[in-house]
Structures are given as C-alpha cells and as structure tokens.
Amino acid sequence: MTARGRPPLVSNAVILDAALTSFANLGYDATSVRAINAELGLSHETITQRFGTKPELFRAAVRHGIQQFVDVFDSEVDSNLPTDDLERLQAVVRAFIIAASRHTNLGELLHQRALPASDRAELMNSIGLDARIIEVTDLLARLRRESIIGDVSTRELWFLVQAGAAPLNFPELASMFDPVDGSLDPSRHVDRMVEIIMRALGVRADR
C-alpha cells in the first residue's frame, strides 16, 4: 500500500514509453533525462538510478519499442491463421502495417544516428526482430521459386509496408486529402494497402 503523501510509483514501462516519445520527437541530443523525470513527476535521479546513463536509457527505450512492435506483429500474424506461404505473406504484410501504425516512434529511433549499426543489430537480435526478418526473407524466396510473386527483395517489402502505414502514422498529413477522398477509415485503409502491396509483389487478384 502506498504511504500517504508519497508520489505514486511509476513503472519502468511508463518511463520507457516517455523516453521513446522524447527521443523520437526531439532527437537524441535534444532529449533531457531531467525533463522526462519532471514530466513524470519523478525526482531528478530516478531514471538514472533505474536505467543508468542517457545512452543506456536510449538503448533500453529502443529495446522496449522493438519488443512492443514484435508482440503486436506476432499477435496479428497468428490471428490470421495462415495455412500456406501466400496467406502467410499476406498476414505478414497486414501485421507489419498494423504494428507500425501502433508504434510510430520505433522507426524514428531505429533511423537515428545516435544508434550505431552494431547496436541496432544487437538490439534487433536480442528481441528477435532479426529472426522475423530472416523468416520473411525465406518466405519471399520460396514464393519467388514457385513464381507466385515477382522478384521483390526483403528491403523493398520493408519499405513498401512502411509506406502503407504512413497515413496512419501521420494523420494530420493524411487529412489533407479528406476533401477529395473523404475521411480516413483505418480498417479499410489497412485492407486496401494489403491488396495494393500484394499486387505490387506480383500476386494476381484471383489467387
């Protein structure tokens, strides 16, 4: 039971969410650990005591973001119950768009120069994101060998699905098109992007 007058305990997850947002929105250099403490009503040493230095907090925030992305991605793929490679690819495309739209800050963090390539690789490996990329690479290779899809690379697919998630990640920008397209329906948008991306991969509409 929390003692009277003592501030409520803020979980590590809440701290990492706040750090994730700050690093993504402000950049590494402009992010202040003291400011995050103040935003959460913590003493100025709390985050340092829990996570160490600012670089260590940054790595912890990225790891936290990757884990959130992977959890949503896995859940979405499994919920679609794919029975063959083509259905699994479609489930992967849908899952990636949904996961990317729910965790918009992760992409910003992974692309920051404050995260060296070696650290990025280690973090992706520690959470298992790299294993999922390898699985998708193998999946694409099998479908190419069977002439079910065209000659698309893993990198190309990654950025195709990133683009598919963009209107959900940037709703203010997407609203520019409301006068001509109507308001954005997130569910319909995901369905349309999956259809468009699958066609871009060379999958016929009748498959």
Tokens of 105: 């800050």
Task: Return the axis-axis angle of helices 85-102 and 54-79, rounded to nearest 10°.
Answer: 140
Phi, psi of 151 (to 5 degrees): -85, 75
Assigned fold of 65-200: Tetracycline Repressor; domain 2 (1.10.357)
pTM equals 0.81
Write down the residue that tokens 């700050």 correspond to.
Answer: 22
Q: Is the pLDDT of residue 19 over 90?
A: yes
Alpha-carbon dihedral angle through residues 123, 164, 197, 128, given to the nearest 10 degrees? 10
Question: How far apart are the C-alpha atoms of 23 and 55, rounded to whole Å?
Answer: 11
Q: Is the pLDDT of residue 7 over 70?
A: no
Task: Give the mean model confidence (pLDDT) for residues 112-125.
Answer: 70
With a CB cutoff of 8 Å and minimum separation 6, the contacts of 136 are 92, 154, 157
Q: What is the DSSP string of 105-148?
A: HHHHHHT-TTS-HHHHHHHHHHHTHHHHHHHHHHHHHHHHHTTS
Question: How far apart are the C-alpha atoms of 54 and 62, rounded to whole Å?
Answer: 12
Question: How far apart are the C-alpha atoms of 24 and 18, rounded to whole Å?
Answer: 10
Task: Give the mean model confidence (pLDDT) for residues 78-98.
Answer: 93
Contact 190, 96 (CB under 8 A): no
For residue 146, the model assigns a pLDDT of 92
Q: Is the pLDDT of residue 120 over 90?
A: no
Contact 114, 58 (CB under 8 A): yes
For residue 115, the model assigns a pLDDT of 66
Tokens of 117: 């390539």
Q: Is the pLDDT of residue 77 over 70?
A: yes
Coil, strand or helix at 33:
helix
For residue 112, the model assigns a pLDDT of 66
Contact 61, 23 (CB under 8 A): yes
- The pLDDT tens digits for 94-106 are 999 999 888 877 7
Write down the residue that tokens 């709703």 correspond to.
Answer: 171
Quick one: pLDDT band at residue 65, thresholds 50, 70, 90? confident
End-to-end CA distance of the chain: 59
Percent of the chain with pLDDT over 70: 89
For residue 94, the model assigns a pLDDT of 96
